[in-house]
Structure 1
């Protein structure tokens, strides 16, 4: 099974683009700044190039982690390993099931599930210890739930 690097990059870019929308002051940006105890002055001293480069790298890592979550065929090669490599049964499996569940809808579903069951608990736990509000948890977790849904759709549906 080929890994589509263009889909990975597109999914990573979608995370940044969606962040521009989600955290825009007209959407959740103003509420997030208040909940995060962030101010314009605090934001002025930031190295935005470094922040966006690192955010893109992290988004690439997230997109890569969504591959086996959204594309179930990725597990087939590990199940058909022999001493000399992949067994002929892999080709037979892929001939029958290679494109099953390879849709944007299926990927979005698994991305949202990952957001709810992975991102929400991680962000929620950190926020609780940081003494952040429920609003802070829901704004940030909401972003990741929707973003992982979009990323999952791109990863799974892009062939």
Structure 2
């Protein structure tokens, strides 16, 4: 299997669109700023090009991992050690039978949602506990990543 970098980049950029809506003042932006201890003045002094650039880079790294969690066929590739040229004939037969099975947006969304719920939310929740942040902060940021992982998983899994 080949890595579809265009799908991964698209999935990474999708987090910006979700973030623009999610953290909009009329949705969760005002509450998030309050819970994060931020003010308009603190936000103005930021290097937004660097922040958004790093956000996309981090989202790209997440998308690299999500492809292995949303596309089942990567499991077959890992079973042969990643070197398809050395794979036994059973690998080719498996991929012939199941090469595109469960490669839908809906299926990718399911795996993205599960990953967000059971990986992203606990990580954010743990950090929030030690940072003494509120449950609102945890749910806003955790919810953001659950939605992002869900959309990213759908994009990655469906883009054959």
For the criterion TM > 0.5, the same-fold answer is yes
Q: Which runs of no fewer than 5 residues in structure 1 stay unpaired?
A: none
SS at match of 2:72: coil
Aligned-partner Cα distance in 1 for 2:78–2:61? 21
SS at match of 2:107: helix
Cα shift at 1:59: 0.5
Cα shift at 1:41: 0.7
Q: How does 1:66-105 map to 2 (within 5 A)?
A: 66-81=66-81, 85-105=86-106
Aligned-partner Cα distance in 2 for 1:37–1:78? 44
Cα shift at 1:80: 3.1
What is the root-mean-square deviation of aligned Cα atoms in Å? 1.5
Cα shift at 1:44: 1.1
C-alpha contact (below 8 Å) 1:80/1:89 kept by paired residues = no
Cα shift at 1:8: 0.3
Q: Which runs of no fewer than 5 residues in structure 2 stay unpaired?
A: none
SS at match of 1:102: coil
CA displacement 1:12-38 (0-9 Å, x = unmatched): 010111111100111110110111111
| TM-score normalized with structure 2 length | 0.95
